[in-house]
Chain A
Amino acid sequence: MQLPLFEYHRPASLDEALATLGTAGSSLAVLGGGTDLLINLKLRLERPRALLSVRELPELAGVSVDAAGTLRIGAGERLTDLATHPLLVARYPGLAQAIRAVGSRHVRNMATLGGNLCLPTRCWYTNQSEGWRGSQLPCWKTEGQVCHVIKTASNCRAIHSADSVPALIALDARLLLRSSQGERELPLADFYRDDGIENNVLAPGELVIAVLVPPARLRSVFVKAAARTGLDYGYATLAGALGGSNRAPKSLLLVAGSVGTMPMVLHQSARIILADGLTEASIEAAADAARDDLGEVTNLFTPPGYKKRLVRGLVRRVLNELRRQKLPAAD
């Protein structure tokens, strides 16, 4: 498979990038590391006239903590660098685990955090060659009126499988977006939409600038169940971040990924732990409750029943690991 022809823009500054982005509209695709986009171009899933490379923009680089303790990670940061970043490894172990879980080392050497946050949903009816797709009736993603995954669905049910996202949502992260018109911030959890095509609320002309993680001392864990560790998309992933002690937890967010069209927050499981603390019995109860919190689980790549059973097992595993983990040291 070969790449189609496209124009290539490599702006020198963020302002120049936003100006180009603002005028080009949908005929332009933002290129981070290209690990997903270039494959989709080969599959003719996207047909942009031009690519805008943002990977080298200095404004998208850097990992820093401000005076208030907020962590800022530039969207252009390479995943390999983040996975081994001492600050992330020490203070946000769940996030470092999640980033290390993305693709293979080769992929992480190229891929950026911003690219992972904006990773298009995936589906085996669409992420195939153009010739392969010729055997299928068009679906929502290919300008049809049907979802092959869930026949009754009124929109695209492709799977969201960006591994960094559940880990960041569990940390209550916020997203910094900018366009030539200005800047805005929103919780990462609110960035995603339950639609496989319009999967996020990024407005035309907007670019992901950075991720902001609010100050808090949390224990955090990320686990990914994949056939081949360090290569595959997950069958399911689970991130958890816990504030307080095992006996008296103050905060807990559990977020499942790779199970549906957007990340799913497991409220019921978290509530059980917040009420009872982390005990063997509460962990079992929280694992059992996970099923109720899961929204529509997709039957892509594995049977849906398996994903539900799997999330139960992953909740148990994440909570047990949180229970054992030491609270990261303060500065």
Chain B
Amino acid sequence: MASRKADLAVVGRDQPRLDGAHKLTGRSLFTDDVVLPGMLHAKIVRSPHARARILSIDTSAALALPGVKAVITHADAPKLYVGIEQPLFRQEIVNYIGDEVAAVAALDEATAAEAAALIKVEYEPLPALFTIQDATRPDAFLIHAKAKGNIAWQQAQDLGDVEQGFAGSAHVRTDTYTTNASHNCYAEFHVAIADWSLPDKLSMYTPTQTAILFQKSLAGALRLSDGQVRIMNLNTGGGFTGRTSVRPHHDVAAVLSRKTGRPVKVRATADEEFIACRAGGEVKYTFRTGVSDTGQIKAFEADITFDTGAYVESQMIVLTLTSSYIHSLYKIEASRYSGRLVHTNNIPYYFHHGGGLAQMAFGLGQHMDALARELGMDPIDFHLQNGVTKGHTSMTGTFFGSCGLAECIRKTAKQAGWKRKYGKLPPLKGIGIGVGAMASGAKGVFKHDTSAAFIKIVDDGSMSLFVGLPDMGQSSHTAMAMIAAEVLGAQATDITVISGDTDIVPLDVGALIQRGTFNTGNAVKAAALDARKQLEVLAAARLGVKPSQLVFRDRQVYPKGQPDKAIPLKKIVYDTLHSREGRFVMGRGFYNSPKESGTMAYSFGAQIAEVTIDPDTGFVTVDRIVASHDVGRAINPRIVEGQIDGQVFSGLSQVLYEQTLLENGQVMNPSRLDYRLPRSYEMPKVEHIIVESIDPFGPFGAKEVGEGPIVCTLPAVANAVANALGEPVNEMPITPWKILQILGRRAKARAGS
């Protein structure tokens, strides 16, 4: 298979999104567009208390309201759990503001809301815990009896001889950082439509990153077999790691549908969105690194405590992900990790971008920058010296078959004019670098990490590609069509991508761990090759060459080097079917990493940010970002740039703007007005550098670009602010008030000296 750029006809060229016109003209369907016959609308009754005892629930007035079809409480689903420990409805104690207590289904949404307000719940308020500090005091009460010390989950790991590593270090530096709760701010709010009117089949429309995980966890919780649960995810309006697991509203819709025998839709209101999204979660990080005189890392230690809020559902994964990150970026000889999830009466935590890695990069990137400064080293030299390289095998067993980290750092630094600027900018102007790495898929969710694909080719040459990978805005379906088109000598526009229905499409673990391009891309490539083999039989006979001599390109098939002998692709397809054999061309393929565990490939990136601080207001303006990313191979370069832009946006937004403000467990800014996301006006100029390291295992050499850029943006912006201020801000977000406070303090110190 061709892999030199010149030999590629489709891959590596800019291809507009296949559904771009539909998106722009509002024709793309989302769950909220779906209206089923007889569909009811549901509202959830939530606890107004951060912790309280339920004394009584009176549903009589709600049930008496005309139009109300059902009310459900704990009694209707006593053994139904969301995740591992959260009962769908509370029976005795509510544990956070927003905890589900009851739900109602009615003919329309307004009636459901009216009925929800008529459900009278009597509470006895109880003391509550809102900080990691309070929850981990020895005398703190236990939010869940089995979580001793309110530690919901913990993980510790030593690799290599850590003590010896630190003992042998010439310098050791320790820093602590805090990141505050933030919210994924999906374009599409949380919504689910369940149809469980027949007992042996539950159909659910909902946005998701992974239909398979939804199918499995709904089936498990509702005591159905996997095949009895059908998940339909149409378009998904944003994922950002947040749509990877079933939330209470999915079960609410299912249980209400079962009870009423009608489809039920439930959707979050603007402020409920912050609860459904699990926008809680302060995180405290301590990083300790020992280095030699020359700046070689000898030992690294991370201690991370997450405020996981009232319940644990699948947050444990954040500990696994954050524990191994350092090894994907630097060559480390000894490392120690200890992490824990602490229960509080806040909204449950769920990570926002990159499985908690983006947040962590805010601190980790600043820590490494500070360490380099302390050694008198340029941070760029520090990253180059310690960064992983091609052929390296990490302590965690990852082999780096490709690695463009050094190339990313060098190219970014050159374009940004780093040497000219670093340490030489006027006051209140700053420049900073962030580097990062990101996995392209990984085993761990299941024993396998399988994606599968079917392709069918009809006799006019048009094709349908069936994949389980959702498109949540990242243009994955366009990329999949491009990969299939490259193999089959077609154009991406010849291919219709069919997705979003577990009854139809083959297995796919989903759009998480940045596995889409790598895993599903490999599966699609295999399916397309399988289809091509079926076409090669006839084509080889017609052209009188061996199948291996055939070229499929530009909707034609010809012997290598003899395009003048080309036969139109669709004629090959037509004749293959309209023959005595009557072969209908159907390709199938799947990909599963051959490794026992972990990741086949990592992508790498480097970003340099330049900022200006306004001394009157404390506002930070990001003036420029130079962003490079090693994507292995850019399947669709323009979309790669779009992915970089989106993550630069979200990264600088997290550093400078976003915070879920919690007061006694309640979100104070539950709206897009008060929870501030920047807009295009606040975006800097982003300069893209695509580095292609051509991964030996990726489809056409491709790796991920799903979350890799954002882990560079956070430290780049934070380091640029520290560079402008003359000291770091160790808490995210970096607000104007923290900046003015620091400027005021520094002015006072100057005046005093």
Contact with B along A222-240 (1 / 0, CB 8 A): 0001011111100100000
Tell me, yes or no, whether A6 is within 8 Å of chain B by CB: no
Pick the residue among A132, A134, A306, A314 that contacts B670 (CB under 8 A).
A132
Q: Is the CB of A227 within 8 A of B681?
A: no
Tell me, yes or no, whether B669 is within 8 Å of chain A by CB: yes
Complexed CA–CA distance, A226 and B97 (Å)? 30
Q: Is the CB of B271 within 8 A of A317?
A: no
List, sorted by A's number, 12 A–B pairs whose CB atoms are closer than 8 Å.
Answer: A1-B269, A129-B269, A135-B48, A225-B616, A231-B673, A232-B676, A302-B736, A306-B741, A309-B740, A310-B616, A313-B615, A316-B616
Q: Is the interface of B mostly helix, strand, loop or mixed?
A: loop
Q: Is the CB of B674 within 8 A of A228?
A: no
Tell me, yes or no, whether A144 is within 8 Å of chain B by CB: no
Tell me, yes or no, whether B679 is within 8 Å of chain A by CB: yes
Neighbouring A residues of B271 by C-beta, 8 Å: 128-129, 131-132
Neighbouring A residues of B670 by C-beta, 8 Å: 128, 132
Decide: A305 near B737, CB < 8 A? Known: A124-B674, A135-B48, A313-B617. yes
Contact with A along B708-727 (1 / 0, CB 8 A): 00000000000000000000
Q: Which of B252-285 contact A (CB under 8 A)?
A: 269-272
**B residues contacting the other copy or chain, number (CB 8 A):** 34
Q: Is the CB of B736 within 8 A of A235?
A: yes
Neighbouring B residues of A181 by C-beta, 8 Å: none
Complexed CA–CA distance, A232 and B8 (Å)? 48
Tell me, yes or no, whether B525 is within 8 Å of chain A by CB: no
Residues of A within 8 A of B (CB): 1-2, 124, 128-132, 134-136, 225, 227-232, 235, 301-303, 305-306, 309-310, 313-314, 316-317
Neighbouring A residues of B740 by C-beta, 8 Å: 306, 309-310, 313
Contact with A along B670-702 (1 / 0, CB 8 A): 100110101101100000000000000000000
Neighbouring A residues of B48 by C-beta, 8 Å: 131, 134-135
Neighbouring B residues of A227 by C-beta, 8 Å: 657, 676, 736
Tell me, yes or no, whether B456 is within 8 Å of chain A by CB: no
Neighbouring B residues of A306 by C-beta, 8 Å: 618, 736-737, 740-741
Complexed CA–CA distance, A132 and B48 (Å)? 8
Tell me, yes or no, whether B619 is within 8 Å of chain A by CB: yes
Q: Is the CB of A232 within 8 A of B681?
A: no
Q: Which of B721-746 contact A (CB under 8 A)?
A: 736-737, 740-741, 744
Give the total number of A-B pairs whose CB atoms are below 8 A apart: 77
Complexed CA–CA distance, A317 and B617 (Å)? 10
Neighbouring B residues of A310 by C-beta, 8 Å: 616-618, 736, 740
Neighbouring B residues of A235 by C-beta, 8 Å: 617, 736
Which B residue's beta carbon lies closest to that of A39? B673
Residues of B within 8 A of A (CB): 46, 48-49, 97, 109-110, 113, 117, 269-272, 615-619, 657, 666, 668-670, 673-674, 676, 678-679, 681-682, 736-737, 740-741, 744
Complexed CA–CA distance, A302 and B617 (Å)? 12
Neighbouring A residues of B117 by C-beta, 8 Å: 130
Neighbouring A residues of B668 by C-beta, 8 Å: 124
Pick the residue among A131, A228, A305, A313 that contacts B676 (CB under 8 A).
A228
Nearest 8 CB-CB pairs, A to B?
A: A313-B616, A306-B737, A135-B48, A134-B48, A225-B617, A309-B740, A227-B676, A124-B668
Complexed CA–CA distance, A301 and B669 (Å)? 9
Q: A2-B110, A235-B736, A306-B737 are in contact. List 14 more A-B contacts (CB 8 A).
A: A1-B269, A135-B48, A135-B49, A228-B681, A302-B736, A305-B737, A306-B741, A309-B618, A309-B741, A309-B744, A310-B740, A313-B615, A313-B740, A316-B616
Q: Is the CB of B681 within 8 A of A230?
A: yes
Neighbouring B residues of A309 by C-beta, 8 Å: 618, 737, 740-741, 744
Neighbouring A residues of B679 by C-beta, 8 Å: 228, 231
Complexed CA–CA distance, A132 and B270 (Å)? 11
Complexed CA–CA distance, A313 and B271 (Å)? 34
Complexed CA–CA distance, A134 and B47 (Å)? 9
Complexed CA–CA distance, A314 and B736 (Å)? 14
Neighbouring B residues of A131 by C-beta, 8 Å: 46, 48, 269, 271-272
Neighbouring B residues of A316 by C-beta, 8 Å: 616
A212 to chain B minimum Cβ distance, whole angstroms, is 33
A239 to chain B minimum Cβ distance, whole angstroms, is 16
Q: Is the CB of A228 within 8 A of B617?
A: no
Complexed CA–CA distance, A234 and B624 (Å)? 26
Complexed CA–CA distance, A129 and B674 (Å)? 13
Neighbouring B residues of A302 by C-beta, 8 Å: 736-737
Complexed CA–CA distance, A75 and B602 (Å)? 62
Decide: A228 near B678, CB < 8 A? Known: A132-B271, A135-B666, A316-B616. yes
Complexed CA–CA distance, A306 and B742 (Å)? 11
Neighbouring A residues of B618 by C-beta, 8 Å: 306, 309-310
Pick the residue among A129, A132, A225, A228 that contacts B682 (CB under 8 A).
A228
B127 to chain A minimum Cβ distance, whole angstroms, is 16
Which B residue's beta carbon lies closest to that of A133? B48
Pick the residue among B49, B619, B666 that contacts A132 (CB under 8 A).
B666
Neighbouring B residues of A1 by C-beta, 8 Å: 269-270
Neighbouring B residues of A2 by C-beta, 8 Å: 109-110, 113
Neighbouring A residues of B669 by C-beta, 8 Å: 124
